[in-house]
Amino acid sequence: MVNPTLLCPICEEKYQVTEFNFNCPEGCDSLPETQYGKYKTTEHEGIWRYLPWLPVEKPNNYQKTPLFIENREFKKMVGKDVVIAFHGYHPEIGADLDTCTFKEIEAVCSLRYAAEQNSNLAMASVGNTANAFLRQSYLEDINTYIFVPEKTHEDLFAVEKSDNAKLIVIKDASYSDAQDIASRFCQREDVSYDGGGKNIARRDSLSTLAYQYQEKYNEMPDHYFQPIGSGTGAIAFYTGSKRLKQNKITDKTPRIHIAQNTPFTPIVDAWNNQTRNLEPVDYNPLDRTYAKVLTNKNPLYSINGGLYDILNKTKGSATTATKKEAKKAGQKFKEIFNIDLYPAAEVGLAALMKTDLQGKILLNITGAGRQKLRQETNAETPEPDYIIEKGDSLNVIK
């Protein structure tokens, strides 16, 4: 078992992680960064090639990675020099993530970390994270408890649901409700709250995208573009590029650009007003937002070391896209590649098309290929293990 050392960006205190407690011991409201040695790759496959820069001791059997795509017709359509980081399912081009999104990469490393910490996991999700853990939990001998709002249950699927995963559907709940209930469930001694983007296993696993890009292109892109919910992926790519620069592998720090789906745009609104503070949202965004996975009311924006600081440091931007714009962009993508995009990925593409950027751009297509997966596999919406009300006792969950 590895005991990673973290660095607080505020007080610069270095400290070791205690299981799933990633917080600065001095009480700073910060997003700490894992401290690793010099850059070194291994002979392992997938993200485990970068095992020395992951907070685990040993790899598991997962070997998949995202795919980089360059296409002349797509570049012409977007009007920019874009490389796609494709997270999805389309075997004809070598894309084989059978949960169809980048959350699969997070789940694999988070499960390995939990197994090495001898802990079961609980988490909240409105779609992609749930799908990833429902499928990939077979990799480790631990239990995962996945809490989802009832409104998003029909969006879930699994080629084969792991017996280690327990799906708990919450009636009349928002994403925030699911987060609160999952956190409360972790009062049990043998269960840890996954922690979302604060979990170093999840962030550091997504940082491997930067290392993969550097290895393939021998440079960093000028810009990195992604639709966001919590912001974990954008933060992770920045952190990965920062590590490469500190190790003198590159001298470039990409500008970070993020996108949200109207009407739920608290980060874009705050950034355009140049404030760290997010305005409270007094409605359930699941009722109004096309890309439901982008409706996190508690993103890693205001926290020190989070998106506000990263957008400032990289002179980044934040852009919105409407449902109409997103669906139009998704249709254009399908006409070129014959691949269906997830709503969140459509939002990212639509926002990029509205943004004036020069230089090499890496666009994270965060999810794609669900229609094809359903046609070619037995993927189906899993039955809940438990259906509960928000006020119910959690003792019924075994």
Residues 303 and 157 in one domain: no
- Whether residue 345 is contained in a domain is answered as yes
- Whether residue 26 is contained in a domain is answered as no
HSE at residue 95, side-chain half, CA atoms within 13 A, is: 27
- Whether residue 47 is contained in a domain is answered as no
Residues 148 and 225 in one domain: no
Nearest-5° Cα angle at 342, 339 to 344: 135
How far is Cα 228 from Cα 198, in angstroms, rounded to an integer?
15
Q: What is the pLDDT along the chain (398 residues), one digit of tens a residue?
A: 678 899 999 999 999 987 898 999 999 999 999 999 999 999 999 999 999 999 999 999 999 999 999 999 999 999 999 999 999 999 999 999 999 999 999 999 999 999 999 999 999 999 999 999 999 999 999 999 999 999 999 989 999 999 999 999 999 999 999 999 999 999 988 999 998 899 999 999 999 999 999 999 999 999 999 999 999 999 999 999 999 999 999 999 999 999 999 999 999 999 999 999 999 998 999 999 999 999 999 999 999 999 999 999 999 999 999 999 999 999 999 999 999 999 999 999 999 999 999 999 999 999 999 999 999 998 999 999 999 999 999 999 98
Task: Give the CATH number of the domain where residue 353 resides.
Answer: 3.40.50.1100
Residues 220 and 332 in one domain: yes
Q: What is the pLDDT of residue 8?
A: 96
Cβ(260)–Cβ(318) below 8 Å? yes
How far is Cα 349 from Cα 225, in angstroms, rounded to an integer?
9
How far is Cα 355 from Cα 116, in angstroms, rounded to an integer?
43
Residues 257 and 386 in one domain: no
Domain range for 364 is: 67-98+201-368
Residues 339 and 391 in one domain: no
How far is Cα 111 from Cα 140, in angstroms, rounded to an integer?
6
Residues 307 and 386 in one domain: no
- Whether residue 1 is contained in a domain is answered as no
How far is Cα 198 from Cα 24, in angstroms, rounded to an integer?
11
Residues 208 and 71 in one domain: yes
Is pTM beyond 0.85? Reply is yes
- Whether residue 161 is contained in a domain is answered as yes
- Whether residue 3 is contained in a domain is answered as no
Rg (Cα) of the chain, in Å, rounded?
A: 20
Residues 112 and 260 in one domain: no
> How many domains, the chain?
2
Residues 86 and 111 in one domain: no
Q: What is the pLDDT of residue 18?
A: 79
Cβ(192)–Cβ(119) below 8 Å? yes
- Whether residue 18 is contained in a domain is answered as no
How far is Cα 335 from Cα 363, in angstroms, rounded to an integer?
18
- Whether residue 133 is contained in a domain is answered as yes
The residues that bridge with 370 in the sheet, in sequence order, are none
Residues 329 and 232 in one domain: yes
Residues 267 and 300 in one domain: yes
Residues 324 and 385 in one domain: no
